[in-house]
Amino acid sequence: MPANMRPSDLRAATLSLGGRVASGELPDTRGDRIETFIASLGGKLVERVLIDMDQGEMHRQLCRLADEGVADLVFTTGSVGIAAHDIAADVVGQVIDFHVPGMADAMRAHSIQRDPLCMLSRYVVGVRGATLIATLPGKIEDLADILELLRPVLPDAVRDLRTRAPRGAPAG
């Protein structure tokens, strides 16, 4: 953790996609895994959002989490493939101000080593205001693997983003 950032300052939110999770039929194990991971960084999971495959709702929730300064990091889980119902990459691509291609490229390259089908994954990492938003896989073992890949860079990313004004806030 960078010297000027206390571990307890790191705030994360999850947005888990899937009808069975959103309806409560299945537990949000992906959110649980992210919460454990964020705690291991000394941070806190401040909000969980569970939604069905609804582009409009996903768009609204991502904008709210970033624009209202709810979280430094927002992780979406699931829906990163190429099927018609896989909406995460498209929606995140619409809401971000700019891409962070090195992180998405690293995620894809790392995943392909475990499973060649990951070539079909559409990981997107970008920034909206002062919030880093990343699409993560839905399979829990792939999710855990990607989180560990991101571990060394997340504190520095949050530190750097804190120099940016959130959307709607006066610059400087």
Apex CA 137: angle with CA 5 and CA 46, to 5°? 40
Tens-place pLDDT, residues 41-54: 999 999 999 998 88
What is residue 32's predicted lDDT score, i.e. its pLDDT? 93
Q: In whole angstroms, what is the distance from residue 64 CA to residue 74 CA? A: 11
Per-residue pLDDT band for 23 (boundaries 50, 70, 90) equals: confident
Query: Do 30 and 16 touch, CB atoms closer than 8 A?
Result: yes
What is residue 37's predicted lDDT score, i.e. its pLDDT? 96
What is residue 159's predicted lDDT score, i.e. its pLDDT? 93
Domain ranges in the chain? 7-161
What is the average pLDDT across 6-27? 80
Minimal CA–CA distance to 107: which of 131, 126, 85, 86? 126
Per-residue pLDDT band for 172 (boundaries 50, 70, 90) equals: very low
User: Does this model's pTM top 0.85?
Assistant: yes
How is 75-126 classified by DSSP, letter by letter?
EEES--SSSTT--HHHHHHHH-SEE-HHHHHHHHHHHHHH-GGGGG----EE
What is residue 88's predicted lDDT score, i.e. its pLDDT? 94
What is the average pLDDT across 66-71? 96
Comparing 54 with 134, which gets the higher pLDDT? 134
* Tokens 């990163």, residue located: 80
Give the HSE-up count for residue 100: Cα atoms under 13 Å, Cβ half-sphere: 22
Per-residue pLDDT for 69 more than 80? yes
Q: In what order do the strands lie in the sheet with 11-17?
A: 44-51, 11-17, 73-77, 131-136, 125-128, 98-99
CATH code given to domain 7-161: 3.40.980.10
Tens-place pLDDT, residues 146-171: 999 999 999 999 999 998 766 655 55
